Amino acid sequence: MTVFDQYFTFWDAALIDESALEALIDLFADGAVVKSAQGEVSDVTVLKMGIKATLQNYVSMKHVWHTTQTDTGFRATWAVVHELKTGEMHAAVGMDLIELDGSGKIKFLEIIPEQNITKKI
């Protein structure tokens, strides 16, 4: 199982399992940089708070992905669907890039969403 396999599996499980959230955060090295459309974070505590805040918006979620190895780490092409507490469904597709440190922890993650759709159900 690659780090991306663990990452997406823990994301989905973290919605209902606090230990999965801890396992997700444990994938990151101290000082890891996470870059997304919302900006850049390099503090694991802030990252955990952001993930928890995001999860509070969802009733359910499911990721699917395909991972390939690159010269510097891994690339994942992904899709995700969320059922929001607002009664909407949200779907997104995109790509993530990660680089690992010497111990196999994520030292850099870039989240590159390509398309987002939200529909009232």
Spatial contact of 107 and 32, defined as CB atoms under 8 Å apart: yes
Is residue 2 scored above 80 in pLDDT?
A: yes
Spatial contact of 81 and 62, defined as CB atoms under 8 Å apart: yes
Query: 54-103, pLDDT tens digit by residue?
Result: 999 999 999 999 999 999 899 999 999 999 999 999 999 999 999 999 99
Spatial contact of 61 and 36, defined as CB atoms under 8 Å apart: no
State the DSSP H helix or E strand holding residue 90, giving kind and residue range, or none if neither. Answer: strand 88-100
For the chain, the domains span: 3-120
**Confidence (pLDDT) at 106:** 96
Average pLDDT on 14-27 reads 95
DSSP 69: E
Banded pLDDT at 35 (limits 50, 70, 90): very high
Select from 102, 121, 15 the least CA-distant residue to 58: 15
Average pLDDT on 4-8 reads 94
Percent of the chain exceeding pLDDT 90 equals: 83
In terms of CATH architecture, what is 3-120? Roll (3.10)
pTM of the model: 0.89
Percent of the chain exceeding pLDDT 70 equals: 100
Rounded distance between C-alpha atoms, residue 53 and residue 98, angstroms: 22
Radius of gyration for the alpha carbons in the chain, expressed in angstroms and rounded: 14
Banded pLDDT at 118 (limits 50, 70, 90): confident
Average pLDDT on 12-39 reads 94
Handedness of CA 89, 17, 29, 66 (dihedral sign): negative
